[in-house]
Amino acid sequence: MKLAIYQMEVQAGVPDENRKKVQHWLREVAVKHRPDVAVLPEMWTTGYALPDLEEIADDEFGETLTFLKPLAKEYKMDIIAGSIAVKTKGGIVNRALTISKKGELIHTYDKIHLVPMLDEPRYLVGGKEKVTTYDLHGTTMGSLICYDLRFPEISRTLALQGAKVIVVMGEWPAARREQWDALLRARAIENQCFIVAAGAVGGHNGTNYSGHSTVISPWGKIIELADAEKEETLIANIDLTEVNEFRTAVPTFESREPSLY
């Protein structure tokens, strides 16, 4: 599977400008690299302009989906479209989207764990549905969002559902970059799967973002790693047979004793 990951500098509060950036990026990677899957970071339409979300967040099945679906179909690539702020009847959620190369929305996930340090609970509501997997190119995958990374249960749930690739989208603070690096690698090793992380750079309202988008193998090997501060594209080819190889060599799933935990 060939991946293109956009480590993006999100312009907080200007969704139209961010959509233009993503449109240009998708066109560029489609022409230069022809990836199977393109991956975007967290909250890439609005950034963390949280007080403005009532005005600038998407409606359900709104502008961003309308924008992305024809691009996925035109460029014949699946888009794990990061996450965006979406207005729902219950409040505004931080929602991850996956769009197939046929231009169809095939999976959504609303961020369960909201970040108290960034005041998310004041402006957003947490997801109420359990995480589920989805299939791309015959591969079982899962998505989680930023602060979710700190809760190992959520990635383990995806792995137990058969996920061979877990995609993490974030605008993780630079002050805790070492924890981002360590947690991503730990999630790959403990779940014996690929971790694909799309982070952000730049900053907003006194918080700088960590960069370090990455692809990590089930063995914990860093396949690709982006810069800490600059906007860039990562291109990675992953061999999914490594997942079964590692799970056979180190059969931790068979060794589990959940009734004793």
Catalytic residues: 42, 111, 146
**Distance between CA atoms of 189 and 242, rounded to whole angstroms?**
12
Could you tell me the CA-to-CA distances from 33 to 2, 78, 168, 193 in Å, in that order?
Answer: 9, 14, 22, 24
Start-to-end CA distance of the chain, whole Å, equals: 35
Instruction: Check if the beta carbon of residue 156 is closer than 8 Å to that of residue 191.
Output: yes
* Rounded alpha-carbon distances, angstroms, from residue 196 to 54, 86, 184: 31, 23, 9
Under 8 Å between Cβ of 44 and 19:
no
Residue 31: which residues within 8 A CB-CB, separation 6 or more?
none
197 and 217 in contact (C-beta within 8 Å)?
no
- Across 72-138, the runs of DSSP E, i.e. the strands, are 78-88, 91-99, 105-110, 134-136
Which residues, 6+ apart, have CB-to-CB distance to 106 below 8 Å?
A: 98, 99, 100, 134
Residues 6+ apart with CB under 8 A from 79: 26, 37, 38, 39, 40, 68, 71, 72, 97, 98, 99
Cβ–Cβ under 8 Å, residues 212 and 181: yes
Helix crossing, 15-32 with 63-75: angle to 10°? Answer: 10
